[in-house]
């Protein structure tokens, strides 16, 4: 079946974890008759959460896609993660959407995650609807939640459906636009009968209808005037203006229901089809001409040249790499070649696919608004633009959320380090928030991500997809060593006589401390012919090797200068090797006399927290030997700028979470090195001695 852009509705479900997004997505699939059986998250039969890591935890870890047909339109459902550990995927996947449904749990209301995903939708200027879910649960309170929504998001609340009953008596909905009631059978079939509004709800209905009409008429000046002059508005005028308001984002309708009982999805899908824009009705996409800063607009038109943005990659050990693409303009057919404007390379491919949960359906052609998958592209990564080579364009993708927690990762099986590296690299394509570094100082492989669960799930995936078992260990702090005073005229003689050719070299050094972060300087200041100049490179080499491991705790030595001013040699027994050893030993001797000290890495942090917990967070920073450098306010949040020793913030993500109830976030980068306080230095040195033994 050929899909038309005007019939497509790309809808992302976003929410705080556990609000019931995936259950709502299942109800929509079932209501739209795409599946014959209502998938359930709790019993592992979900059409969206099918990865073993998701079934095990009962949460969405990776955005999944499916579609259903409703009133001659195709609704592409984008089910995103709500757990804090996986929100980057949500942010990336919203690039494929033309509207979002913010799902809120009627029992727990607006949570931290709700605020975070709302901000993503605002950033991408997507029209929104709110669906208050779980109306059948104990302590469900529709009116309390809409009050919270109004306070948190500063929007005019426009509930277009009111619940009939609540908790176990919840049985249907009142439609305030069409002034009807829908009484549902509570068997999950989604069947309902249209009836008159229950008389005991007359007052509430009158009051709320008045309020929502006030919000709707603000979209249209002419209608507003009519309304203010007390003229009667026809239901058609109200409906048309309401739809215009939803499309433009000026009106955020609030609906309610229960996904697991399948109460509410039909009304929600009606408003999606009528009120969310088709890909053709969205503002043109802004692009940049490669090689310049020139911005231009691309309309969602099937007749123009092709362009699309890669918003997600799936690493599949069997099918290879799957590249997910949202088409913005033009059309593309199977078995063709596209141009990757970021990498300046052509990509040949075979079949175009449409994703249906864990299955893929081949299609011959894709048009504006389509969300398609292409297998086995060689160069293309998340964030790249694919387009026609004769009309290149680059779309600016969104930024990944910064990693906040790191672990050293090692393969359980010795000798499988290479496989570990190549397998993690494949997962990096799939998950742009993961970071893989090798610490030169500690020679550890460090994996960083957006949370503890993020890294644990990554390791489970490594094992399941690539058969690599790994251990996560706390990262070692990359301490350094340096000197604090100069040591002059240090002499070391290396001499070995034991039958045959001996070894002889003598070097004379002065050693001076340097400014912080200056590294190492070597200064050759020889006079006379005591040392042939051809041995100077060997001396420098010996010094470089000695710098790798200090005398205090075996950490690299930095910020010092060595002056090589004299020495002695023997015409038979002197060799490069002898001078290398002499230089290395002389430096170690000099450092002992130059009062060595331990340095630790200091991190520059920006911590964003709600005002009410600022005192706690500042107190906690002080207890971690942190220094607050400044403060900024950002809306309802405060931004604390601080510098803190790395050793004190290795697991800061977990601590900040518990201090702020999940409402705090932070970024952290290396700033500089500072001397470790004496009593702590002793502890670090003792630990390193123990490790050696």
Calculate mean pLDDT across residues 426-446: 82
**Band (317; pLDDT cuts 50, 70, 90):** low
Per-residue pLDDT reduced to its tens digit, 329-384: 999 999 999 999 999 999 999 899 998 888 888 999 999 999 999 988 988 999 99
Per-residue pLDDT reduced to its tens digit, 253-303: 999 999 999 999 999 999 999 999 999 999 889 999 988 888 888 888 888
Per-residue pLDDT reduced to its tens digit, 189-209: 889 999 999 999 999 999 999
> Which helix (H) or strand (E) is 623 found in, with range?
helix 614-623
Asked whether residue 603 carries a pLDDT value surpassing 70, the answer given is: yes
* Half-sphere exposure of residue 439: CA atoms within 13 angstroms, side-chain side: 22
Q: Specify the fold of 405-474.
A: Alpha-Beta Plaits (3.30.70)
**Band (412; pLDDT cuts 50, 70, 90):** confident
CA distance 600 to 556: 12
Asked whether residue 91 carries a pLDDT value surpassing 90, the answer given is: yes
Per-residue pLDDT reduced to its tens digit, 576-591: 999 999 999 999 999 9
CA distance 149 to 151: 6
Per-residue pLDDT, 49: 66
Per-residue pLDDT, 181: 95
3-state secondary structure of 236: helix
Per-residue pLDDT, 542: 96
Q: Of the CATH numbers 2.40.50.840, 2.40.50.140, 3.30.70.100, 2.40.30.10, which one belongs to the domain with range 285-387?
A: 2.40.30.10
Per-residue pLDDT, 2: 63
Q: Specify the fold of 599-692.
A: Alpha-Beta Plaits (3.30.70)
**Band (430; pLDDT cuts 50, 70, 90):** confident
Per-residue pLDDT, 541: 96
**Band (312; pLDDT cuts 50, 70, 90):** very high
Per-residue pLDDT, 587: 96
Average pLDDT value for the chain:
90
Per-residue pLDDT reduced to its tens digit, 531-542: 999 999 999 999
Note whether 405-474 and 599-692 share their fold. Answer: yes
pTM over 0.75, yes/no = yes
DSSP string, 556-613: PB-SEEEEEEEEE--TTT--HHHHHHHHHHHHHHHHHHT-EEEEEEEEEEEEEEEGGG
Domain 5-199+249-280 belongs in CATH node 3.40.50.300: yes
Least confident of 313-322, 350-359, 592-601, 610-619: 313-322
Q: Specify the fold of 481-594.
A: Ribosomal Protein S5; domain 2 (3.30.230)
CA distance 101 to 124: 14
Calculate mean pLDDT across residues 221-237: 87
Per-residue pLDDT reduced to its tens digit, 451-509: 888 898 888 888 888 888 888 898 889 899 999 999 999 999 999 877 677 899 999 99
Per-residue pLDDT reduced to its tens digit, 140-156: 999 999 999 998 888 88
Per-residue pLDDT, 15: 94
Least confident of 177-186, 396-405, 589-598: 396-405
**Band (85; pLDDT cuts 50, 70, 90):** confident
Domain ranges of the chain: 5-199+249-280, 285-387, 405-474, 481-594, 599-692
**Band (126; pLDDT cuts 50, 70, 90):** very high
Contact (CB, 8 A) for 86 and 430: no
**Which burial class, exposed, middle or buried, applies to 272 when counting CB atoms under 10 A from its CB (0-12, 13-18, 19+)?**
buried
């Amino acid at each position: 079946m050929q899909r038309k852009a005007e019939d497509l509705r790309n809808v992302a479900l976003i929410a705080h974890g556990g609000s019931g997004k995936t259950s709502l997505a299942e109800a929509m699939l079932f209501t739209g008759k795409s599946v014959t059986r209502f998938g359930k998250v709790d019993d592992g039969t979900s059409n969206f959460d099918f990865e073993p890591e998701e079934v095990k935890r009962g949460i969405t870890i990776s955005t999944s896609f499916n579609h259903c047909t409703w009133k001659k339109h195709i609704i592409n459902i984008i089910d995103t993660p709500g757990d804090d550990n996986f929100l980057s995927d949500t942010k990336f996947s919203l690039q494929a959407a033309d509207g979002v449904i913010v799902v809120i749990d009627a029992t727990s209301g607006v949570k931290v995650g709700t605020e975070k995903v709302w901000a993503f939708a605002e950033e991408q200027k997507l029209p929104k609807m709110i669906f208050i879910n779980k109306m059948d649960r104990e302590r469900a309170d529709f009116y309390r939640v809409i009050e919270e929504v109004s306070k948190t998001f500063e929007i005019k609340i426009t509930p277009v459906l009111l619940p009939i009953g609540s908790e176990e008596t919840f049985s249907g909905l009142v439609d305030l636009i069409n002034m009807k009631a829908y009484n549902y059978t509570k068997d999950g079939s989604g069947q309902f009968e249209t009836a008159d509004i229950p008389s005991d709800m007359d007052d509430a209905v009158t009051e709320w209808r008045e309020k929502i009409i006030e919000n709707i008429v603000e979209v249209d000046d002419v209608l507003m005037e009519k309304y203010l002059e007390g003229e009667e508005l026809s239901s058609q005028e109200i409906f048309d203006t309401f739809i215009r308001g939803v499309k433009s984002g000026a009106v955020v309708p609030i609906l309610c229901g229960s996904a697991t009982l399948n109460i509410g999805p039909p009304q929600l899908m009606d408003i999606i089809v009528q009120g969310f824009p088709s890909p053709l009705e969205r503002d043109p996409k802004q692009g940049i001409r490669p090689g310049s800063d020139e911005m231009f607009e691309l309309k969602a038109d099937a007749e123009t040249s092709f362009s699309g943005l890669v918003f997600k990659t799936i690493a599949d050990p069997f099918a290879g790499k799957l590249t997910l693409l949202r088409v913005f303009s033009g059309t593309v057919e199977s078995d063709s070649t596209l141009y990757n404007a970021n990498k300046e390379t052509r990509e040949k491919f075979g079949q175009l696919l449409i994703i249906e949960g864990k299955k893929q359906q081949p299609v011959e052609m894709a048009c504006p608004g389509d969300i398609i998958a292409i297998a086995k592209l060689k160069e293309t990564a998340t964030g790249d633009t694919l387009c026609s080579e004769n009309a290149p364009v680059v779309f600016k993708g969104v930024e990944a959320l910064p990693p906040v927690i790191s672990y050293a990762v090692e393969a359980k099986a010795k000798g499988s380090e290479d496989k570990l590296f190549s397998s993690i690299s494949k997962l990096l394509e799939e998950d742009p928030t993961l970071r893989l570094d090798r610490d030169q100082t500690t020679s550890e492989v460090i994996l960083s991500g957006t949370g503890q669960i993020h890294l644990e799930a990554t390791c489970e995936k490594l094992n399941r997809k690539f058969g690599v078992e790994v251990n996560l260990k706390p990262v070692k702090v990359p301490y350094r060593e340096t000197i604090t005073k100069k040591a002059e005229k240090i002499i070391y003689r290396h001499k070995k006589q034991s039958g045959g050719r001996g070894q002889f070299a003598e070097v004379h050094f002065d050693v001076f401390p340097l400014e912080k972060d200056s590294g190492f300087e070597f200064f050759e200041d020889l006079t006379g012919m005591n040392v042939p100049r051809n041995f100077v490179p060997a001396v420098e080499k010996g010094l470089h090797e000695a710098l790798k491991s200090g005398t205090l705790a075996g950490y690299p030595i930095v910020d010092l200068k060595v002056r090589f001013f004299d020495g002695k040699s023997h015409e038979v027994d002197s060799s490069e090797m002898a001078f290398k050893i002499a230089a290395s030993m002389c430096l170690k001797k000099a450092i002992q006399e130059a009062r060595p000290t331990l340095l630790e890495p200091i991190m520059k942090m920006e911590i964003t927290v709600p005002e009410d917990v600022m005192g706690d967070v500042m107190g906690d920073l002080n207890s971690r030997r942190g220094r607050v450098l400044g403060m900024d306010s950002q809306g309802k949040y405060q931004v604390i700028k601080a510098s803190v020793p790395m050793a004190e913030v290795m697991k800061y993500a977990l601590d900040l979470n518990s201090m702020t109830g999940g409402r705090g976030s932070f970024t952290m980068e290396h700033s500089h090195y500072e001397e470790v306080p004496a009593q702590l230095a002793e502890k670090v040195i003792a630990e390193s001695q123990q490790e050696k033994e």
